[in-house]
Structure 1
């Protein structure tokens, strides 16, 4: 089961319109997150709001008498009031990796289709009064920004404007894109990075160039890395002689997949790479969810969202500043 269909918009699938895809995704998200799409967010600082944060001594003329905590007042013998956290609209930004390696898929959809669906799901999950979502798309031609829209409209745009052709063949700079995102939009909010974490030079070991920019981003915002994976990137089937092409460089190589040692080495290298990516994301203090093209990715994303919301610290849309982090 792979969740809502997000077929490539080629000649064989033009009968499926972006609107139909959006309605299917909307229904899938609502089924997996019933009653949890709104109102589950805490502010960062004291101010107008409804969520109690701390109890202090009452100051005549400054504090609202309607917020007197009578239980604490009775125990302390003097008036105390509770102060709430300020409630603000949520501003979310999705950094969408559309490098050449994302134009790959061996199941029902390509990784770039899943990435567009994940960006749309972010809009649906974060919808609420005043909430907005913007998108930065990273290709070989550089970084393109789309102005933030109300969450639901942003979700529709993510599906409507998803790429239908090949990405630019040039290398992409994920580290530079993360730095640009942190410098361009400083207001605390949610930042989601959707990528396959494939390095242009084929590097599979730490440190990755994007680790430190990601950590700086996670200092100021709640940050989630959505890693997109296809099953053929994890293990090779025994299908004889195959010609492989590196999507980032265009280099080709003919290999025999019947070689057991080759398949074993490939699987071990792929597993080590994914483990290194997970370790790097943990080091950066960011959330991490892996979405696969051969699984119900909406369910996996929903599980991650629900899991983070059970954590009191993760419920804030701005992550607390980790100790010992050098920006």
Structure 2
């Protein structure tokens, strides 16, 4: 992809996802993820209905009529995105690849956070941590994140997925509590222990991204397939009912593991299929909190 093509794609994603974050998610993000408390903002004249416990007696005495203290929420938070860029994220048979959906979701969440003046950081991972972008504010920073979401590829033999390693890195690098969204197809196991530690320290939300044919093998006769994580190829008969059943069971086992692991840790877990409306899934989550 040329520089011009990258910039064009960044701009297209910015327009789409910034619009969603401004008109749909910004307010819901704000109300879902509260700040760390209340801080003094200013004083103003007392109005009927104000709580008398907030009267500023020093200012009241100085001006001979009542004034009250006004407080506002300490809003600044940190949003961390853990983004799976392993080879399996490139798979997609319908509307888009899993990586494309992760890019859109990451951009929407990043713009929602920056609209609320929160810092945003990213940990990209495959079977190792590929890149860490420390939390910062600003449009330029968000556009850099979007560019990396589009272009960053796993280095060396980093084709596999290690969710546990990414969570361990988060636990080590982030000393303050953060809002953390884990965007992955969650094909790796186990990661339960690291997940429990991360969920105790951070407000953690997993978003399981999957394709229809991650679960259902289409009937297409004898075909050669390649495991995106290992690079191993083999011939399989997709018309064989037993083969299709085994394929579906492998997906179901990982699905059940993720549900149980997230439930046990106390973290939230959303499931988004590549041909589904991710906007509705996020809205449902925000409204349900």
**TM-superposed deviation, 1:128:** 3.9
User: With structure 1 as the length reference, what TM-score do the two structures score?
Assistant: 0.71
**What is the CA–CA distance in structure 1 between the aligned matches of 2:87 and 2:74, rounded to whole Å?**
40
Larger helix proportion of the pair: 2
Kindly indicate whether structure 1 or structure 2 has the higher relative contact order, using CA contacts under 8 Å at least 6 residues apart. Answer: 1
Match of 1:197 in 2: 186
2:195 to 202, 207, 214: 214
Distance 1:86 1:182, change over 3 A: farther
Match of 1:118 in 2: 105
Worse-matched range after superposition: 138-147 or 91-100: 138-147
2:247 to 266, 270, 279: 266
Distance 1:10 1:303, change over 3 A: farther
**TM-superposed deviation, 1:209:** 2.8
Instruction: Give the secondary structure class of the aligned counterpart of 2:82.
Output: strand
Instruction: Give the secondary structure class of the aligned counterpart of 1:127.
Output: helix
The CA deviation string for residues 146-169 of structure 1, in whole angstroms up to 9 with x for no partner, is: 132326545433322224475343
**What is the CA–CA distance in structure 2 between the aligned matches of 1:301 and 1:151, rounded to whole Å?**
23
2:162 to 152, 173, 195: 173
**Structure 1 residue 182 and structure 2 residue 171: aligned?**
yes
User: With structure 2 as the length reference, what TM-score do the two structures score?
Assistant: 0.79
Distance 1:221 1:18, change over 3 A: same
**Structure 1 residue 131 and structure 2 residue 123: aligned?**
no
**TM-superposed deviation, 1:31:** 4.6
CA RMSD of aligned residues (A): 3.2
Match of 2:67 in 1: none
Worse-matched range after superposition: 250-259 or 33-42: 33-42
The CA deviation string for residues 271-311 of structure 1, in whole angstroms up to 9 with x for no partner, is: 23212211111111111111211111222122212222xxx
**What is the CA–CA distance in structure 2 between the aligned matches of 1:265 and 1:39, rounded to whole Å?**
43
Distance 1:66 1:184, change over 3 A: same
**TM-superposed deviation, 1:17:** 2.6
Match of 2:279 in 1: 298
**TM-superposed deviation, 1:187:** 0.9
**What is the CA–CA distance in structure 2 between the aligned matches of 1:86 and 1:228, rounded to whole Å?**
34
**What is the CA–CA distance in structure 2 between the aligned matches of 1:278 and 1:33, rounded to whole Å?**
25
Match of 1:92 in 2: 79
Match of 1:108 in 2: 95
**What is the CA–CA distance in structure 1 between the aligned matches of 2:205 and 2:174, rounded to whole Å?**
16
Distance 1:32 1:240, change over 3 A: farther
**What is the CA–CA distance in structure 1 between the aligned matches of 2:117 and 2:13, rounded to whole Å?**
25
**What is the CA–CA distance in structure 1 between the aligned matches of 2:166 and 2:237, rounded to whole Å?**
37
Distance 1:266 1:10, change over 3 A: farther
The CA deviation string for residues 10-69 of structure 1, in whole angstroms up to 9 with x for no partner, is: 99x87953112210122234454374343554344576589xxxxxxxxxxxx85459xx
Match of 1:238 in 2: 219
**What is the CA–CA distance in structure 2 between the aligned matches of 1:143 and 1:107, rounded to whole Å?**
28
**Structure 1 residue 19 and structure 2 residue 8: aligned?**
no
Instruction: Give the secondary structure class of the aligned counterpart of 2:104.
Output: helix
**TM-superposed deviation, 1:97:** 1.2
Distance 1:41 1:140, change over 3 A: closer
Instruction: Give the secondary structure class of the aligned counterpart of 2:149.
Output: coil
